Amino acid sequence: MDDERNLEKMRYDSFLKITRTMGGAALSGAAPTPTLELAKQLGISIADAWMCFDIYKTYFDKNLSKQDLAKMLQTTGVVVLGGGIAGYVGIRLAQALLSEILEQLPIANSIITGIAFGSSTFIIGLAWLAIVEQSYFAQSADEI
């Protein structure tokens, strides 16, 4: 019963981190930044990475090390994470291009890019949460 409550709290805390980061990404994405789009993308990507590290720390109560990441890759599969990273880079580049194209339509640009940036961060956060939780359960099973 106590483990179940602890798991619910970790999920809740992680979901708050995801939604907070999503909100920041949406606001950042909505802000017009002519010629600074790649810098904005870099900032959002760093925030996404920080969110992922923070979710890991919520579940394992320690920072993500290279060894921990390697173990997670064994648990979840290198192909899934490798494809996810390639997809992430592609999404961020496409969003930068979309934002540059829509610069001529200020209100539409802000709405569309804000939604695109926020939703992609939300999806990335949920996917990472699933990977971390799978590793958490695998580690818990190993300890039994």
Q: What's the domain range around 28?
A: 2-143
pLDDT at 22: 94
Question: What is the DSSP track for 84-134?
Answer: HHHHHHHHHHHHHHHHHHGGGSHHHHHHHHHHHHHHHHHHHHHHHHHHHHH
Average pLDDT of span 118-142: 86
Confidence of residue 140 (pLDDT cuts 50, 70, 90): confident
* pLDDT tens column, 67-121: 887 777 666 655 555 566 667 777 777 777 777 777 777 788 788 888 888 988 9
* Least confident residue range of 47-51, 75-79, 118-122, 130-134: 75-79
